[in-house]
Amino acid sequence: MVKLMLALDVMDKKEALKIADETSDYVDAIKIGYPLVLAVGLDIVKEIKDKTKKEVICDFKVADIPSTNEKIANLTLKYADGIICHGFVGRDSVKAIQKIAKQYELETGNKKKVIMVTEMSHPGAVEFMQPIADELAEVAKELNVSGIVAPSTRPERLNEIKNIVGDIPIISPGIGAQGGDLDSVLNILGKNDYVIVGRAIYENENPKESAHKYSILLNKS
C-alpha cells in the first residue's frame, strides 16, 4: 500500500494543529514548509509531532553552500524527522545535510531522513529541472539518500525516475489540486513510497473526511 503524506501549507498555528489532529488517523506522515514555519516558528514541528505522533518532514528545499546547509539542517532536524533539499547545488551540499542527519541519528537513535528533489510537479519544472532530473536521480542513488521527490503530475517521468533510483523511497506531489491522476501513479509507486496531498485535504470544508477518502483509495492499491 502506498502511504499518504499531508502537505500542511496553512499559515495559522491553531488551524494547522486542528487539521493535523483531525487527519492523523488517515495520514502516514505530515510535510510542512516555509509558509507555516515562517508564520508561526519552527517549534510547530514539535507541536505537530506531539499531537499526532506522526513523522514530520520539513520541506525547505534547501539549496545553499555546504556550511549554510549544515546550519539549516542542524536547526531543522532538532525537531523534524526529515528535511527536503535540492541536489542541483552539488553533491557536497547534500552530503553536508547527510552529515548532520547522521549526527542526530547517533545522538538520539532516531532515523533522520534526507530527501532530495529530482523533478517537481508544477508546469515550470519542465523548463530547467526536467532536463537534469535523470542525472539528479543518479546522484540521489549514488549518495543513497533517504528518499526523493518526483512528480505525480507526469506519471511517465515518475516511472522513469523510479526506474533509476530503484528501492529509494519516493514522495510524490501533484495529486489533488494539481490534477495528478491517482490511478496512474498507484501503478508505479510501491509500499515504501508516499503520495503527497495538500490543498485537496486542508482546503476541504472537512479535511478529516477528505483524508479518509484518500486513505481508502490508497488502501485499494
Residue 61 bears catalytic tag: yes
Local confidence band at 220 (pLDDT 50, 70, 90 cut-offs) = low
> Which CATH number goes with the domain that contains 11?
3.20.20.70
pLDDT digits (tens, 9 = 90+) for 35-62: 999 999 999 999 999 999 999 999 999 9
- The rounded mean pLDDT for the chain is 97
Q: What's the CA gap between 8 and 48, in Å, rounded?
A: 10
> Mind listing the pLDDT tens digit for each residue in 120-155?
999 999 999 999 999 999 999 999 999 999 999 999
Residue 90: is its pLDDT beyond 70? yes
Of 180, 186, 118, the C-alpha closest to 148 is 118
What is the pLDDT at residue 219?
83
Give the confidence band of 157 by pLDDT, cuts at 50, 70, 90. very high
- Residue 138: its pLDDT value, please? 98
Q: Which of 51, 61, 99, 141 is catalytic?
A: 61
Amino acid identity at 44? I
**Domain, as residue range, for 81:** 3-219
C-alpha cell at 150: 518526483
User: In 9-160, at which residue ranges do the beta strands (DSSP E only) sit?
Assistant: 29-33, 55-62, 82-86, 113-117, 147-149
List C-alpha distances in Å: 40 to 12, 37, 62, 75, 114: 7, 5, 19, 15, 24
Give percent above pLDDT 90 in the chain.
Answer: 98
Tens digit of pLDDT for each residue in 177-214? 999 999 999 999 999 999 999 999 999 999 999 999 99
CA torsion sign for 209, 210, 211, 216 is: positive
pLDDT of residue 61: 98
Q: Is the pLDDT of residue 221 over 80?
A: no
User: How many domains does the chain divide into?
Assistant: 1
